[in-house]
A = this chain, B = another copy of it.
Amino acid sequence: MAMQDARTPENGSEPRKPGWHKGYVSGSRPDIRVPVRRVHLTNGKDVTLYDTSGPYTDPHIDTDVRRGLAPLRENWIVARGDTEEYAGRALRPEDDGLKHTSPRGGLKNLDAVFPGRPRQPRRARTGPQGEGAAVTQLAYAKRGEITPEMEYVAVRENRTPEFVRDEIAAGRAVLPANVNHPETEPMIIGKNFLVKVNANIGNSAVTSSIEEEVEKMTWATRWGTDTVMDLSTGRNIHTTREWVLRNSPVPIGTVPLYQALEKVDGKAEDLSWEVYKDTVIEQCEQGVDYVTVHAGVLLRYVPLTARRKTGIVSRGGSIMAAWCLAHHQESFLYTHFEELCDILRAYDVTFSLGDGLRPGSIADANDEAQFAELRTLGELNRIAKSRDVQTMIEGPGHVPMHKIKENVDLQQEICEEAPFYTLGPLTTDIAPAYDHITSGIGAAMIGWWGTAMLCYVTPKEHLGLPDRDDVKTGVITYKIAAHAADLAKGHPGAQDWDDALSDARFEFRWEDQFNLALDPDTARAFHDETLPAEPAKTAHFCSMCGPKFCSMKISHDINEQFGSDEGGTLTEEEVREGMLAKSREFADAGGRVYLPVAD
């Protein structure tokens, strides 16, 4: 799987001097090494940027998707002594959507089963009464402990470890890190940290192979996604996820309901707590870091969607609505929520409480169904938090600009500032094929107002399955939204990136502009298409006509305030002469507004 990055020339011509290198910032101990992207400027300075691309962009690390990434966090997890390996659930054909063939028959590509190091799943040790220990970052934070994961994200975010701990303890941030996904580079999601981006991938029976999904994941992290959700349906779900997890440097999220539905042949009414629970445990053992759970879809909310323009558009939401209607009972996700908490707590899997009733059109935004569910998510958040399970809350969807802020404000109030994780929102329905843009607008705004993570939308939304280019476009658009939000929030240091790029632009340091760009390849290509290279230029305002002279002598309005050298005000004649002298100076110096300055 060839990663395209700044180290690799894109064509057969002479290799370009790399514009950046992978660096590491050390923490308090040798095994805390936080990756960064160091951009080398032609003026000799370096700019350090957040890096999500994992070991793939480190030329000193030899990666191999068949072996998987090194288990970076394993020693930290083991050293805590509160987990143990166990035999784990036996793999079954239906985990991959297979019925009558051998378990591994029918898999596509990469020789199917992941060949990497053998592993047993790990979970919390059970206590004397059989109860599982809380092995979550939330439990540690509440106890006042600072884990290596917390210190790692503190370095990554330029915050103190204590600040990170306190945000997690308060439930204002989550650090998704399943004990069975030691390959992750810890990251944090919360409104007092950098706004994060999620990219969805996922195979479907029709179109994509395991290999393609793994490549989409590394490709998305290359462009800056902070987490990836694997929304695979159809066959090979289990095996695809194994490949993705073992090769992912970022947290992986899923919707277990999708796999559970496959296990009952797509019949929503045949779902049960038993099938669902088994699926959740299967995914916890594999290492999924967070799971979307649509536990807020209550039977009595379903009719509230009856008069909507677009009804229920969330796949999980409509599955649960169908189940509720079929049984005329509250869903097993709601009635078994506490048991579910106890399962997730044993692996440190984070809840992403799904908004199954999110609006799917401008007309349906902020309606009764949506906010009724949000209030239930608020209840569930309190339960999860009390049981030491990290929790974030999902949000819409389709919302016109003037109704966006209410979404964040309500969610923050109802869910006690738990991280908000929104899909867009799309600010208009009229532009299929451009919904990365309709939603990028909403995402930037909702990020500014306090949303912690933005789930991307690609140009193919509503129309088809995203390919590699769509994934890149989606990630770049959402990185723009997230960074615009960081700027608007006044996040410490966020503007340094803009400043470095604008300095380069003003000084015509083209190479620096490209290397600092979110997408250096495209910026360089666009430039090379039409514009010739321009000479470098150093810039500063002309020294002879500084602020003092001009503000004093040009304006008749303020003439009285300032004295001439002789202590009096200037006569008109003196002003005219001064102006003439300045005019000559300007001409003599070449008539340029900005002059080179040695600095």
B contact residues around A212 at 8 Å (CB): none
Residue in chain B with minimal CB distance to A403? B488
Give the complex CA separation of A477 and B434 in angstroms: 8
- Decide if A484 touches B401 in the complex (CB within 8 Å): yes
A526 CB contact (under 8 Å) in B206, B464, B550: B464
* A309 close to B484 (CB less than 8 A): no
Cross-chain contact A431 with B519 (CB below 8 angstroms): yes
Residues on B with C-beta less than 8 A from A522 are 433-434
Contact A518 B269 (CB under 8 A): no
In the complex, A318 has a CB within 8 A of chain B = yes
Interface centre among A306, A448, A582 (most CB of B within 10 A): A306
A166 interface hit (Cβ, 8 Å): no
Bound: A503/B502 CA distance, A: 45
For the complex, what is the distance from the CA of A306 to the CA of B549, rounded to whole Å?
13
Smallest CB gap from A530: residue in B:
B464
- Of A63-71, A73-81, A587-595, the stretch lying at the interface with chain B is A587-595
A245 interface contact, C-beta 8 A: no
How many identical subunits does the complex contain? 2
Q: Is the CB of A437 within 8 A of B477?
A: yes
Q: A480 to B305, Cβ gap below 8 A?
A: no
B545 in contact with A325 (CB, 8 Å): yes
Given contacts A322-B591, A325-B542, A401-B485, contact A309 B523 (CB under 8 A): no
Using Cβ atoms and an 8 Å threshold, which residues of chain B touch A477? 434, 437
CB <8 Å contact, B444 and A325 = no
* Interchain CB contact (< 8 A) of A546 among B300, B306, B432, B462: B306
Report Cα–Cα, A401/B495, bound state, in Å: 13
Distance (whole angstroms) from the CB of A517 to the closest CB of chain B = 5
Residue in A299, A303, A318, A485 with the greatest tally of chain B CB atoms within 10 Å: A303
Sort chain A's interface into a size bin: 35 or more
Q: A401-B484, A530-B465 are in contact. Are A325 and B498 (CB under 8 A)?
A: no
Contacts A441-B441, A464-B530, A586-B328 hold; do A362 and B487 have CB atoms under 8 A apart?
Answer: yes
Q: How far is the CA of A514 from the CA of B460 in the complex (A)?
A: 13
Per-residue CB contact flags for chain A residues 467-502 toward chain B (1 = under 8 Å, else 0) read 000000000110111011101111000010111011
Would you call A445 an interface residue if the criterion is a C-beta within 8 Å of the partner chain's C-beta atoms? yes
How would residues 437 to 454 of chain A score, 1 for a CB under 8 Å from any chain B CB and 0 otherwise?
110110011001000000
The yes or no answer to A335 lying at the interface (CB within 8 A) is: no
Q: Which of A445, A488, A516, A530 has the most chain B CB within a 10 Å cutoff?
A: A530
List residues of chain B with CB within 8 A of the CB of A497.
429-430
A402→B303 contact, CB < 8 A = no
27 A-B pairs within 8 Å (CB atoms) are namely A300-B550, A303-B549, A303-B551, A306-B540, A306-B547, A307-B541, A309-B499, A309-B502, A312-B593, A322-B591, A325-B586, A326-B583, A328-B580, A360-B505, A361-B502, A362-B502, A401-B485, A427-B484, A430-B501, A431-B479, A431-B519, A432-B514, A432-B523, A434-B477, A438-B484, A460-B529, A463-B527
